[in-house]
Structure 1
């Protein structure tokens, strides 16, 4: 007999409802997995045939964990007979049985996303189309979206031809048709086909659909808010024969519309099943009441939702801590300072997480963590300097500075694609090895070597060599900064154009990462100019960054507990004691690209809700007043989501808080100034006032990048005037006032 006494009242009611359809609205941290597990065990305990229970999840890990829990309650013999797994694994099992009805061999194989992109790439080439206009990732995303919406190639051609023509891609429908036909011809399905052909199987064969519907007397679906149109339609097909469907989810955590998820599936459930019962799991077992209340007040601003009022069974806890920084650099300094305080107080590193909206935001936090020797890892991805698009750009930097760098040469000779294949590179390599010279020496003077390369390929290599030689000449200028050269390299190589042309989600992320690299370089160049007046060349920057990228790579290989960095999307389903949600600024979070619509803003608000509810004990929100974008410092507005949160649950600071180990410097008294002067090494040119720049020792200034600080010393005159400044959060800096970007603070 299954003991249900450990469940709370609503959990138990949801478990015991097995006669009518039910919607279990499970708030964050409310134990939805526990309810699903107990419900299945409860059915088995009532002698329901395991083979008549269909339980669907989104991940193999979730399915396996649930099956193990059930097995521990009712035994492995019963648990192994359940129809439990991911949508794709269960539907593949059905299609293997019914393969003849969908026109596939029983042993059909599955293409993963890489296989699918490669097929698209081959078809684009076969059709004589421009692979820059029809990028495999872009095209495959369009095909995937069409399939998830159950749109066939012929329907796509009828509905989307005009749209595709207007966007300069009139052949998308032809590629989709060719892709569809080639998959059938080869006896392969991609992941989306597993949904499409299951739907078509049931749609075209009502008797088969009826047989499976009668077999699956009980259907349970996890994370229903994440289902797409095709998954929803299949569930509808299977649940119209008097069987009982139970879906579990949280509309407030519907954050995957970019993958095709439809929030309407869960919002309209009771319209499709009028006799359905709704159970709301509102007791949060994860977070403190302050965190839960803050999240509740935020999500209530959404118009399209299933109302619920989640509450915590734990302590009240501290309010959300609001951090205001003047720049993204200062934001990182403050956040890492607070992390160091938590670590010093005994908090395990793996219980601390930095959450951000976009991958590109990790860079400044990674660098600050490295500077402070804080072990860390980028969850679900690579550290900033190990990402492919960053390594590609860095390879161009290396080749421009050192043309004999063979690894850099091989990495970029055909990136972006310029028609130089492996055979051509292989012949250049063979000749270089035979003659004892570098690849660059051969490529830059092909006529002097016997490579056997065709005239057309040789012409392409010459164009590449000319590009590198031109960039080398430009980089040789003593007054050409690394930031200037980065812009020229991105422009002249075509990297910027290629990334800008794509609408693929992965390519957008790559573009943002490359832009962040440019921001980092521009910021470093500006800092060095302000502090020393020198121009940072591309070679200077490479020397500076090579050690950092090596350290971050080593950090990723560490095995000790580490602070986590991840996107909010990657954090869904996870929980941590301490969560820092950074970059809360309009335009960044909510993330708005070309347009802003109410549904888009509501999804962004749900994403913020997910971020806050990852925290168990402490949650920090941070924003900056300015941020480097496209190589320039731009003003930022605090995210509207901060104002959406009831102020009763936020501890607001009037100004940026100092980092760990630093005390804020306030307007200095005469006695304090005297002590500062005595503590510093005297200089013959030291003075209290600079009439040229209108500042004096003791003045409070606001710097564009470093925030608030106090001038502690002024030395030299004219263009050489320097100010020593103790900044509240980033420590001591020397500024060459001729270049320094600051204003006097009020």
Structure 2
């Protein structure tokens, strides 16, 4: 991001906070009085804008830090917001999830309003749902319990009571979970509430409902909360549910000091009750609201931004923002068709290996897919390739035994730390006693995973040492322990070196230098369960989220068959109609655009003249063999050849999309064309 760095303002001057912002971000930061709605596209620096807004409000005296409540949807995002505010020298602001903020207030007021100790929160609904099913006489298995629990959760966050469930489900066209009718689900929801009441527990939705009810009905409690919190910021506002909006309304009362930030194009949780309605209708509710749009994308290259914009444009997504890339041009977006899932996983692992060999950190590479079940093939392929990985959504970092043990050791070391020894050296000394070493173990498996965990702590210590705190004092082991405790509470794990495997939903809010979008075939993207226009539109938005996770490298792929030797019955996702190079379906849908689109998507550091020569050769081969051009070699493969310029069969074999069979058929011709281009020949025919 470009910043203004030539100002002579002293570091403590309020306006110094604004110097690192672009004009639109600065407009957000200086819009200190609500109502304000910020429409922020992916990669446009929304967190930066709103944290600078809070910091500027505090520095100018408009806000008291303790009067600001910033809410978001994940503990990780809340933790990141607190970290950024601390780096800006602002302490005392409450940055929490909706549930964390509500639970804190409910626990405080419970004894006064309800009496006694607060009820225990049931972490999981499954036991109560299973008991409720038994009481009403329906048979359930583990999958059914999960689906029914999700449906109960949807009803509660949508403010739909059991008595009103059937009518609302029919109105919305919402089917009951498979194997059950709407009346049965309504009866189950009633029984579920009875089970909870008898056990003296509440669920997470109850926390919001009970607090909102207290604030709506008890004026003295509402006045106390509203006198404490006078300024509200809501991040990811497109994901607000009716229940969360109801609680937010109680927090606000009749006041207007509200700043909301969101992107309708990233609404991907409608199935849980989230709705972009409140974001899209904000200016109808607050007719004088200031609207600011952030569309300068600092995250991704123009090639990635172009594809993201096209995915939305072709789907006519409501409220979509057109991003404007701010980074220099990067490599082309790669499109690869594999024979089967095993080949796709192996090809992606090989490509990841080449990126790592070229200098990309493993932690800056991600493989994203639609369903968690797809991860197994990539885990196996990466293991076979000797590449470390981490599955997002697997065991939580701070629950790992080696991490817990290490924090205990660091906490003890903090009490007797040598003030003259650099903190990173002390951390290394402590962790060496727990089995850490400068070099990782040669073998993969549990030993390497333990080392990766402790290495993440070492790297975090190095990061803290390079960035002294707001008081200007160097970081100590006590600083590190405090940081780890705060991150543990927010589940904001430090970076573990390894390729990330994650579902598209789990990837939201994250970014990597290189992203592989795998399994982009009909039935997976959009998922086969997406049977309505609304559901398919949400799948398109989910794909957009996946595309916009990539900073530099983006590769898209699918496999024609599930198993090696299987029938090639799969088709690539409709969402890339007109965008997937050399797809015959694209030619029929967009006959004029193919050649230009291929050049638009495949512009980067490859030799353009060589690329054109290879395309001409491929056209000739396709005509001679009466085959579609894409079955010879894809545009992505030709672009890779033009970039790498292989001079031997061994080098050619390293290119994605050209296996042994195709090397036997075309290798000699391809190498001859590369050699001719290298010698300056103009005739690229075979």
TM-score above 0.5, yes or no: yes
CA contact (8 A) 2:99 2:208 kept: yes
Say which SS state the counterpart of residue 635 (structure 1) adopts: coil
- Displacement of 1:247 in angstroms is 0.7
CA distance 1:269–1:647, shift in 2 (3 Å): farther
Aligned residue among 58, 62, 78 for 2:77: 62
CA contact (8 A) 1:376 1:555 kept: no
Provide the C-alpha distance between the structure 2 equivalents of 1:711 and 1:306, rounded to a whole number of angstroms: 47
Cα deviation, 1:597-654, whole Å, max 9, x if unaligned, reads: 222222111111111111111111112333349x963511121222254655423993
Aligned residue among 81, 97, 113 for 1:86: 97
Say which SS state the counterpart of residue 126 (structure 2) adopts: helix
Alignment of 1:218-257 (within 5 A): 218-257=231-270
- Displacement of 1:185 in angstroms is 4.7
Provide the C-alpha distance between the structure 1 equivalents of 2:84 and 2:663, rounded to a whole number of angstroms: 63
* Larger gyration radius, structure 1 or structure 2: 1
* Residue of structure 1 in register with 2:289 after alignment: 276
Say which SS state the counterpart of residue 247 (structure 1) adopts: strand
- Displacement of 1:32 in angstroms is 1.2
CA contact (8 A) 2:335 2:636 kept: no
CA distance 1:32–1:160, shift in 2 (3 Å): closer
Say which SS state the counterpart of residue 564 (structure 1) adopts: strand
- Displacement of 1:556 in angstroms is 5.4
Say which SS state the counterpart of residue 287 (structure 2) adopts: coil
Q: CA RMSD for the aligned pairs?
A: 3.8
Provide the C-alpha distance between the structure 2 equivalents of 1:148 and 1:577, rounded to a whole number of angstroms: 36
- Displacement of 1:37 in angstroms is 1.1
CA distance 1:34–1:590, shift in 2 (3 Å): same
* Residue of structure 2 in register with 1:142 after alignment: 151
Indicate yes or no: 2:383 matched with 1:370.
yes
Cα deviation, 1:318-374, whole Å, max 9, x if unaligned, reads: 221111223223323332222222222222222222111112222333333233223
CA distance 1:132–1:584, shift in 2 (3 Å): closer
CA distance 1:168–1:597, shift in 2 (3 Å): closer
Say which SS state the counterpart of residue 235 (structure 1) adopts: helix
Provide the C-alpha distance between the structure 2 equivalents of 1:179 and 1:130, rounded to a whole number of angstroms: 15
Provide the C-alpha distance between the structure 2 equivalents of 1:282 and 1:122, rounded to a whole number of angstroms: 50
Provide the C-alpha distance between the structure 2 equivalents of 1:349 and 1:331, rounded to a whole number of angstroms: 19
Say which SS state the counterpart of residue 15 (structure 1) adopts: helix
CA distance 1:582–1:574, shift in 2 (3 Å): same
The worse-fitting range, judged by mean Cα deviation, of 47-56 and 169-178 is 169-178
* Residue of structure 1 in register with 2:602 after alignment: 651
> Which blocks of at least 5 consecutive residues in structure 2 are unaligned?
1-12, 397-442, 456-496, 580-596, 604-614, 616-629, 642-648, 650-656, 669-686
> Which blocks of at least 5 consecutive residues in structure 1 are unaligned?
384-549, 665-674, 676-704, 713-724, 729-746
Cα deviation, 1:395-442, whole Å, max 9, x if unaligned, reads: xxxxxxxxxxxxxxxxxxxxxxxxxxxxxxxxxxxxxxxxxxxxxxxx
Indicate yes or no: 2:549 matched with 1:614.
yes
Cα deviation, 1:678-711, whole Å, max 9, x if unaligned, reads: xxxxxxxxxxxxxxxxxxxxxxxxxxx9988279
CA contact (8 A) 2:305 2:324 kept: yes
* Residue of structure 1 in register with 2:661 after alignment: 709
- Displacement of 1:22 in angstroms is 1.0
Indicate yes or no: 2:107 matched with 1:96.
yes
Say which SS state the counterpart of residue 326 (structure 1) adopts: strand
Cα deviation, 1:515-558, whole Å, max 9, x if unaligned, reads: xxxxxxxxxxxxxxxxxxxxxxxxxxxxxxxxxxx977777556
* Residue of structure 2 in register with 1:515 after alignment: none
Provide the C-alpha distance between the structure 2 equivalents of 1:134 and 1:565, rounded to a whole number of angstroms: 24
Provide the C-alpha distance between the structure 2 equivalents of 1:617 and 1:147, rounded to a whole number of angstroms: 41
Say which SS state the counterpart of residue 96 (structure 2) adopts: strand
Provide the C-alpha distance between the structure 1 equivalents of 2:569 and 2:371, rounded to a whole number of angstroms: 19
* Residue of structure 1 in register with 2:567 after alignment: 633
* Residue of structure 2 in register with 1:217 after alignment: 230
Provide the C-alpha distance between the structure 2 equivalents of 1:706 and 1:617, rounded to a whole number of angstroms: 23
- Displacement of 1:91 in angstroms is 1.0
- Displacement of 1:10 in angstroms is 0.5
* Residue of structure 2 in register with 1:722 after alignment: none
Cα deviation, 1:368-404, whole Å, max 9, x if unaligned, reads: 3233223323222379xxxxxxxxxxxxxxxxxxxxx
CA contact (8 A) 1:338 1:659 kept: no
Provide the C-alpha distance between the structure 2 equivalents of 1:84 and 1:280, rounded to a whole number of angstroms: 23
Aligned residue among 164, 178, 196 for 2:209: 196
- Displacement of 1:161 in angstroms is 11
Aligned residue among 605, 608, 621 for 2:540: 605
Cα deviation, 1:66-112, whole Å, max 9, x if unaligned, reads: 2233234345xxx23x3331101111122234336874644332111
Aligned residue among 518, 523, 528 for 1:587: 523
The worse-fitting range, judged by mean Cα deviation, of 101-110 and 300-309 is 101-110
- Displacement of 1:142 in angstroms is 2.2
- Displacement of 1:245 in angstroms is 0.6
- Displacement of 1:14 in angstroms is 0.7
Say which SS state the counterpart of residue 562 (structure 2) adopts: strand
CA distance 1:181–1:316, shift in 2 (3 Å): same
Provide the C-alpha distance between the structure 2 equivalents of 1:584 and 1:308, rounded to a whole number of angstroms: 24
Aligned residue among 582, 596, 600 for 2:531: 596
Would you tell me which structure has more strand in proportion to its own residues?
1
Indicate yes or no: 2:44 matched with 1:30.
yes
- Displacement of 1:51 in angstroms is 3.2
Indicate yes or no: 2:656 matched with 1:642.
no
Provide the C-alpha distance between the structure 1 equivalents of 2:663 and 2:81, rounded to a whole number of angstroms: 61
- Displacement of 1:184 in angstroms is 3.8
CA distance 1:658–1:567, shift in 2 (3 Å): same
Alignment of 1:518-597 (within 5 A): 559=452, 561-593=497-529, 595-597=530-532
CA distance 1:92–1:312, shift in 2 (3 Å): same
The worse-fitting range, judged by mean Cα deviation, of 88-97 and 13-22 is 88-97
